[in-house]
Amino acid sequence: MPFVIDPDKTGFEKVLRDYQIEALRMVWDDNPKGVNSREVYQHVNRQLDGVRTISRASIINFLNAMCDEGVLAYVEETCKGGTRRKYSTGLDEEEFKKHIAKSVLESLLKDFPEQTIEAVKETLGGLD
């Protein structure tokens, strides 16, 4: 899942929507047994408290994209009607922050290598 950066936002809102943040927090905060998409769907919509409703398909697509990125892990379990995924932590919150920063820097270095290195040096020099 490519990250789209909005520098005017703060925290995870720079790269994620509100429901995505809630979904990740639920998985990170849950017990090691993991959670299924229905549990995440219900939690997210409770947290949004009627502001709007997020579809279960949007939740599933996001959770699966996070699995593809290695941010979340999953195991498949048998259930009535087939199988389902139980999602659990792949990267914790701190590791995910580093993953975002690394992804953004790698992308910038690919397209603007000299300018990115110069900007990072200027920024780090200003942190004294």
12 plus 71 within the same structural domain: yes
- Is 88 within 8 Å of 36 (Cβ atoms)? no
Judge whether 73 lies within some domain.
Answer: yes
- Same domain? For 50 and 76 the reply is yes
Please identify which residue in the block is written with the tokens 């999602």. Answer: 87
Same-domain status, 51 and 104: no
71 and 118 housed in the same domain: no
- Indicate if 68 and 120 belong to the same structural domain: no
Verify that 20 and 36 share a domain, yes or no: yes
Q: Does one domain contain both 52 and 111?
A: no
Radius of gyration of the chain measured on its C-alpha atoms = 17
Domain residues for the domain of 105 are 92-128
Residues 23, 86 within the same domain = yes
Per the domain annotation, does 41 fall within a domain?
yes
In a domain, 3, yes or no: no
Bridge partner residues of 125 (DSSP): none
| pTM given for the model | 0.87
* Residue 2 located in a structural domain: no
- Residues 68, 116 within the same domain: no
Tell me, what's the pLDDT at 113? 96
Residues 105 and 119 in one domain: yes
Number of domains in the chain: 2
- pLDDT for the residue numbered 127: 65
**Rounded to whole angstroms, what are the CA distances from 35 to 30, 61, 76, 119, 126?**
7, 15, 11, 41, 43
Q: What is the pLDDT along the chain (128 residues), one digit of tens a residue?
A: 678 899 999 999 999 999 999 999 999 997 678 999 999 999 999 999 877 899 999 999 999 999 999 999 999 998 888 999 999 999 999 999 999 999 999 999 999 999 999 999 999 986 65
**16-55 per-residue burial string, b: 16 or more CB within 10 A, e: under 16:** beebbbbbbebbeebeeebbbbebbbebbbebeeeeeebe
